[in-house]
Amino acid sequence: MIPSTFPPKEEIARLTARALLEIKAVHFNAETPFTLASGLPSPTYIDCRKLISYPRIRSTLMDFLAVTVMREAGFEAFDNIAGGETAGIPFAALVAERLALPMTYVRKKPKGYGRNARIEGAMTEGQRVLLVEDLTTDGGSKLSFVDAIRETGATCGHTAVIFYYGIFPDTEAKLGAHGVKLHHLCTWWDVLTEARSQGVFDDKTLTEVESFLRAPRAWQDARKA
Protein backbone atom coordinates (compact mmCIF):
# COMPACT_ATOMS: atom_id res chain seq x y z
CA MET A 1 0.00 0.00 0.00
CA ILE A 2 1.35 3.41 -0.96
CA PRO A 3 1.54 5.71 2.11
CA SER A 4 0.15 9.22 1.77
CA THR A 5 -0.64 10.93 5.09
CA PHE A 6 1.99 11.09 7.81
CA PRO A 7 3.36 13.44 10.49
CA PRO A 8 5.44 16.52 9.58
CA LYS A 9 9.17 16.09 9.05
CA GLU A 10 10.09 17.18 12.59
CA GLU A 11 7.82 14.55 14.16
CA ILE A 12 9.11 11.88 11.78
CA ALA A 13 12.64 12.75 12.92
CA ARG A 14 11.67 12.49 16.59
CA LEU A 15 9.85 9.18 16.17
CA THR A 16 12.69 7.71 14.13
CA ALA A 17 15.21 8.69 16.80
CA ARG A 18 12.93 7.20 19.46
CA ALA A 19 12.64 3.93 17.52
CA LEU A 20 16.41 3.64 17.07
CA LEU A 21 16.92 4.20 20.79
CA GLU A 22 14.18 1.70 21.68
CA ILE A 23 15.83 -1.17 19.80
CA LYS A 24 19.27 -0.17 21.11
CA ALA A 25 20.62 0.62 17.66
CA VAL A 26 22.28 3.70 19.18
CA HIS A 27 25.54 3.27 21.07
CA PHE A 28 27.32 6.05 22.99
CA ASN A 29 30.65 5.45 24.72
CA ALA A 30 32.80 8.46 25.52
CA GLU A 31 35.36 6.60 27.66
CA THR A 32 36.17 3.87 25.13
CA PRO A 33 35.38 5.33 21.69
CA PHE A 34 34.36 3.14 18.79
CA THR A 35 36.65 2.80 15.78
CA LEU A 36 34.87 3.69 12.54
CA ALA A 37 35.53 2.14 9.13
CA SER A 38 37.76 5.15 8.43
CA GLY A 39 39.94 4.14 11.38
CA LEU A 40 38.98 7.29 13.28
CA PRO A 41 37.55 7.23 16.82
CA SER A 42 33.96 8.18 17.64
CA PRO A 43 31.86 8.21 20.84
CA THR A 44 28.85 7.31 18.72
CA TYR A 45 27.88 4.27 16.69
CA ILE A 46 24.59 3.36 15.06
CA ASP A 47 23.44 0.00 13.71
CA CYS A 48 20.46 0.53 11.41
CA ARG A 49 20.64 -3.11 10.30
CA LYS A 50 18.91 -4.07 13.54
CA LEU A 51 15.70 -2.54 12.17
CA ILE A 52 15.02 -5.54 9.94
CA SER A 53 14.35 -7.65 13.05
CA TYR A 54 11.61 -5.37 14.43
CA PRO A 55 8.56 -5.58 12.13
CA ARG A 56 6.45 -2.80 13.67
CA ILE A 57 9.31 -0.30 13.76
CA ARG A 58 10.62 -1.46 10.39
CA SER A 59 7.23 -0.97 8.78
CA THR A 60 6.72 2.46 10.31
CA LEU A 61 10.12 3.78 9.28
CA MET A 62 9.76 2.46 5.75
CA ASP A 63 6.41 4.25 5.51
CA PHE A 64 8.20 7.37 6.73
CA LEU A 65 10.97 6.96 4.14
CA ALA A 66 8.52 6.42 1.29
CA VAL A 67 6.43 9.46 2.18
CA THR A 68 9.55 11.60 2.73
CA VAL A 69 10.75 10.78 -0.77
CA MET A 70 7.33 11.52 -2.28
CA ARG A 71 7.04 14.81 -0.42
CA GLU A 72 10.54 16.00 -1.30
CA ALA A 73 11.13 14.51 -4.76
CA GLY A 74 7.64 13.94 -6.16
CA PHE A 75 5.00 11.24 -6.38
CA GLU A 76 6.03 10.11 -9.87
CA ALA A 77 9.75 10.90 -9.65
CA PHE A 78 11.18 7.38 -9.96
CA ASP A 79 11.03 4.24 -12.09
CA ASN A 80 13.36 1.99 -10.10
CA ILE A 81 14.52 1.66 -6.46
CA ALA A 82 18.13 0.51 -6.01
CA GLY A 83 19.68 -0.69 -2.76
CA GLY A 84 23.37 -0.35 -2.01
CA GLU A 85 25.17 -3.57 -1.02
CA THR A 86 24.60 -4.77 1.62
CA ALA A 87 22.76 -2.73 4.23
CA GLY A 88 20.61 -0.90 1.70
CA ILE A 89 19.17 -4.01 0.05
CA PRO A 90 16.33 -4.86 2.50
CA PHE A 91 15.31 -1.22 2.84
CA ALA A 92 15.25 -0.72 -0.93
CA ALA A 93 13.00 -3.77 -1.26
CA LEU A 94 10.61 -2.42 1.37
CA VAL A 95 10.48 1.06 -0.18
CA ALA A 96 10.00 -0.42 -3.67
CA GLU A 97 7.06 -2.43 -2.35
CA ARG A 98 5.45 0.68 -0.93
CA LEU A 99 5.97 2.72 -4.10
CA ALA A 100 4.95 -0.17 -6.37
CA LEU A 101 8.22 0.05 -8.30
CA PRO A 102 10.88 -2.40 -9.54
CA MET A 103 13.78 -3.05 -7.18
CA THR A 104 17.45 -3.61 -7.99
CA TYR A 105 20.66 -3.55 -6.04
CA VAL A 106 24.16 -2.26 -6.63
CA ARG A 107 27.30 -4.20 -5.73
CA LYS A 108 30.23 -2.43 -4.14
CA LYS A 109 32.41 -3.89 -6.90
CA PRO A 110 31.92 -6.28 -9.82
CA LYS A 111 31.44 -9.84 -8.58
CA GLY A 112 34.40 -11.08 -10.63
CA TYR A 113 32.74 -13.85 -12.64
CA GLY A 114 29.80 -14.47 -14.97
CA ARG A 115 28.53 -11.13 -16.28
CA ASN A 116 30.87 -9.32 -13.84
CA ALA A 117 27.92 -7.08 -13.05
CA ARG A 118 27.52 -4.41 -10.42
CA ILE A 119 23.77 -4.03 -10.96
CA GLU A 120 21.58 -6.98 -10.05
CA GLY A 121 18.01 -7.01 -11.31
CA ALA A 122 16.53 -5.19 -14.30
CA MET A 123 17.69 -1.60 -14.72
CA THR A 124 17.30 0.02 -18.13
CA GLU A 125 18.51 3.09 -19.95
CA GLY A 126 16.55 6.22 -19.12
CA GLN A 127 15.07 4.94 -15.86
CA ARG A 128 15.04 7.40 -12.96
CA VAL A 129 16.59 5.53 -10.04
CA LEU A 130 16.37 6.24 -6.32
CA LEU A 131 19.36 4.91 -4.37
CA VAL A 132 18.34 3.65 -0.90
CA GLU A 133 20.82 3.03 1.91
CA ASP A 134 20.62 2.59 5.67
CA LEU A 135 22.72 5.65 6.49
CA THR A 136 25.26 8.17 5.29
CA THR A 137 28.15 9.79 7.11
CA ASP A 138 29.91 12.17 4.71
CA GLY A 139 28.24 10.93 1.52
CA GLY A 140 31.39 9.54 -0.05
CA SER A 141 30.34 5.90 -0.34
CA LYS A 142 27.16 6.88 -2.22
CA LEU A 143 29.05 8.28 -5.19
CA SER A 144 30.39 4.92 -6.36
CA PHE A 145 26.88 3.43 -6.28
CA VAL A 146 25.49 6.42 -8.18
CA ASP A 147 28.19 6.10 -10.85
CA ALA A 148 27.44 2.38 -11.29
CA ILE A 149 23.76 3.19 -11.80
CA ARG A 150 24.55 5.90 -14.33
CA GLU A 151 26.81 3.55 -16.29
CA THR A 152 23.68 1.59 -17.27
CA GLY A 153 22.25 4.69 -18.95
CA ALA A 154 19.81 5.26 -16.10
CA THR A 155 19.78 8.47 -14.09
CA CYS A 156 20.25 8.82 -10.34
CA GLY A 157 19.68 12.23 -8.80
CA HIS A 158 18.40 11.20 -5.37
CA THR A 159 19.45 9.02 -2.45
CA ALA A 160 17.32 8.24 0.60
CA VAL A 161 18.59 7.02 3.96
CA ILE A 162 17.10 6.31 7.35
CA PHE A 163 19.94 7.97 9.22
CA TYR A 164 22.15 10.90 8.25
CA TYR A 165 25.01 11.89 10.56
CA GLY A 166 24.29 15.58 9.96
CA ILE A 167 27.59 16.75 11.46
CA PHE A 168 29.90 17.09 8.46
CA PRO A 169 29.06 20.41 6.77
CA ASP A 170 30.21 19.48 3.27
CA THR A 171 28.18 16.26 2.90
CA GLU A 172 25.17 17.64 1.04
CA ALA A 173 27.41 19.92 -1.03
CA LYS A 174 29.56 16.91 -2.03
CA LEU A 175 26.48 14.98 -3.11
CA GLY A 176 25.02 18.05 -4.79
CA ALA A 177 28.18 18.57 -6.82
CA HIS A 178 27.64 15.03 -8.10
CA GLY A 179 24.03 15.85 -8.98
CA VAL A 180 22.51 13.96 -6.05
CA LYS A 181 19.99 15.22 -3.48
CA LEU A 182 19.88 13.58 -0.04
CA HIS A 183 16.65 12.61 1.75
CA HIS A 184 16.75 11.33 5.35
CA LEU A 185 14.60 10.66 8.40
CA CYS A 186 16.78 11.76 11.31
CA THR A 187 20.29 12.84 12.36
CA TRP A 188 22.55 12.56 15.39
CA TRP A 189 21.07 15.82 16.64
CA ASP A 190 17.59 14.29 16.68
CA VAL A 191 18.92 11.23 18.50
CA LEU A 192 20.77 13.37 21.06
CA THR A 193 17.63 15.42 21.76
CA GLU A 194 15.50 12.30 22.20
CA ALA A 195 18.14 10.58 24.33
CA ARG A 196 18.15 13.57 26.67
CA SER A 197 14.37 13.62 26.76
CA GLN A 198 14.22 9.96 27.72
CA GLY A 199 17.24 9.96 30.03
CA VAL A 200 18.67 6.98 28.17
CA PHE A 201 22.33 7.87 28.85
CA ASP A 202 24.02 9.70 31.70
CA ASP A 203 24.68 13.44 31.47
CA LYS A 204 28.45 13.05 31.23
CA THR A 205 28.15 10.78 28.19
CA LEU A 206 25.63 13.03 26.47
CA THR A 207 27.82 16.08 27.08
CA GLU A 208 30.80 14.33 25.49
CA VAL A 209 28.67 13.20 22.55
CA GLU A 210 27.50 16.76 22.00
CA SER A 211 31.12 17.92 22.06
CA PHE A 212 31.88 15.42 19.30
CA LEU A 213 28.85 16.42 17.24
CA ARG A 214 29.77 20.11 17.38
CA ALA A 215 33.35 19.55 16.22
CA PRO A 216 33.82 15.95 15.04
CA ARG A 217 37.15 16.40 13.25
CA ALA A 218 38.72 18.22 16.20
CA TRP A 219 37.39 15.58 18.61
CA GLN A 220 38.85 12.81 16.47
CA ASP A 221 42.20 14.55 15.94
CA ALA A 222 42.63 14.93 19.70
CA ARG A 223 42.12 11.17 20.20
CA LYS A 224 43.98 9.61 17.29
CA ALA A 225 46.17 6.71 18.32
Above pLDDT 90, what percent of the chain? 82
Give the model's pLDDT for residue 7: 92
* Residue 1: predicted pLDDT: 66
pTM of the predicted model, to two decimals? 0.94
What DSSP line would sit under the chain, residue for residue? --------HHHHHHHHHHHHHHTT-EEE-SSSPEEPTTS-EESEEE-GGGGGG-HHHHHHHHHHHHHHHHHHH-TT--SEEEEETTTHHHHHHHHHHHHT--EEEE-SS--SSTT--SEES---TT-EEEEEEEEESSSHHHHHHHHHHHTTT-EEEEEEEEEE----TTHHHHHHHTT-EEEEEEEHHHHHHHHHHHT-S-HHHHHHHHHHHHSHHHHHHTT--
Which range has the worst mean pLDDT, 28-42, 145-159, 168-182? 28-42
Q: For 115-124, what is the mean pLDDT?
A: 88
State mean pLDDT over 141-162.
Answer: 96
Each residue of 150-172: b (16+ CB within 10 Å) or e?
eebebbbbbbbbbbbbbbbeebb
- In this prediction, residue 112 has a pLDDT band, given cuts at 50, 70 and 90, of low
The pLDDT of residue 36: 78
Domains of the chain (ranges, CATH numbers): 9-220 (3.40.50.2020)
